[in-house]
Amino acid sequence: MSFDRNLEERLVRYCAVDTQSDADSPTAPSTAIQYDLLRMLEGELREIGAQDVTLTDYGVVLATIPGTAPGPTIGFLAHVDTAPQFNATGVKPRVIRGYNGGDITYPDDPELVLSPENSPYLGEKQGHDIVTASGLTLLGADDKAGVAIIMAAAQHLLAHPELPHPPLRIAFTPDEEIGRGVGTQLPKDLACDFAYTFDGGKVGEVEYESFSADGADIRIKGVSIHPGYATGKLVNAIHLASKIVGALPQGSMVPELTSGRDGFIHATDMTGGSSEMRLKLIIRDFELDGLEAKGALVRKVCEAVQAGEPRAEITCTITPQYRNMRYWLETDMTPVNLALDAAKSLGIEPVSRPIRGGTDGSRLTEMGVPTPNLFTGMQNIHGPLEWVSVQDMARAAELMLTLVGRAVRG
């Protein structure tokens, strides 16, 4: 079976739809534009013959692929939103067929170059069909590659009812990139024994450990007065915000200087003016005690700056986001082992490394639905050099089909 053209066509079509999420929006989904792709997928699922197709009031597309043999009900998820960190409006996907191993340039930014030097995994993909954006946007393969993989595999199963597989549940979620993809209703509505997200990178990745994550929201209220008459009265909130950022670790405990199992504190947003400022930080660690220690450090810095300027008002609110899925999956490795065995049967050497991030599966696992993460092939996500191999995506679709076949009881 060959999924290459099906996957390529789907990925190009999906990536052209702007679905960027917005962490500052109170709605669910956070942006109305995500419905453009959600409704498209709802229609496509009906067209290929999926059952129980629903677009929920909280912005998740759900569907059933009826089972043809007994076995556990298995869920498959991917998220439709793209990351807020980089421009995602006007994505123009393009396909470099039969990649020759050299530099890839971009029509909309001649200075931009993708090569095996800045993306070593690309050097392994000679002869593959590589999909990138045009230079001014991210691509959105995170996670529209996962969406395309699930849709292509579901279409194949529905077209071949002779293939034995248990009942499958499909879910396409919004707002994963801002940590709001899994609402309280989803575990019940998904109604499966365990699930998988297709939201990983290199071929072979079967991941069952993620960061634990908190978010810090720091509000600083200074004293505002006309600067010409400010002597002894003005308290500049910008200066206080700068002091807080400057007092946080700079030579360690930041994303650019950490790797492996190291956690970090990362300032993501700094907005406001001289009278009021807002800082947003993300706090990450693989262990809960490390996460708590980093949160305590952030609070201590805020308290110290507050003590130095009692006329200001500084508040620091730390909110849990998701937890390391390992805490639950290590008690029952059934879905992990099923994926590892399926990969090996395809001649794929599985790799299980800690995810330096999180997935919808982190929240789902915490909420009672064990959900490891599987590869899609996507690389250099959240930026203009994002790319994915169509052939890597095809291997992921084969993994899904093999996995569900091996899940049949008896």
Question: Which residues are part of the catalytic machinery?
Answer: 81, 176
Residue 165 annotated as lining a ligand binding site: no
On whether 160 is known to bind a ligand per the annotation, the reply is no
For residues 210 and 95, what is the distance between their CA atoms, to the nearest angstrom? Answer: 32
Q: Give CA–CA dist 88/82, Å, rounded.
A: 7
The Cα 393–Cα 8 span in angstroms is: 9
The two structure tokens encoding residue 250: 């700079």
| Residue 256 annotated as part of some ligand binding site | no
Cross-strand pairs, 263: none
The three-state (H, E, C) secondary structure of the chain, written as one string: CCCHHHHHHHHHHHHCCCCECCCCCCCCCCCCCHHHHHHHHHHHHHHHCCEEEEECCCCCEEEEECCCCCCCCEEEEEECCECCCCCCCCCCCEEECCCCCCCEEECCEEEEEECCCCCHHHHHCCCCCEEECCCCCCCCHHHHHHHHHHHHHHHHHHHCCCCCCCCEEEEEECCHHHCCCCCCCHHHHHCCCEEEEEEECCCCEEECCECEEEEEEEEEECECCCHHHCCCCCECHHHHHHHHHHHCCCCCCCHHHCCCCCCEEEEEEEEECCCEEEEEEEEEECCHHHHHHHHHHHHHHHHHHHHHCCCCEEEEEEEEEECCCHHHHCCCCHHHHHHHHHHHHCCCCCECCCECCCCHHHHHHHCCCCCCEEECCCECCCCCCCEEEHHHHHHHHHHHHHHHHHCCCC
Q: Is 79 assigned a ligand-binding role in the annotation?
A: yes
Structure tokens at 289: 């005690």
Distance, in Å, from the CA atom of 20 to the CA atom of 147, rounded to the nearest integer, reads 15
Q: Does 382 appear as a known binding residue? A: yes
Binding site feature residues: 79, 142, 177, 199, 382
Binding residues for Zn(2+): 79, 142, 177, 199, 382
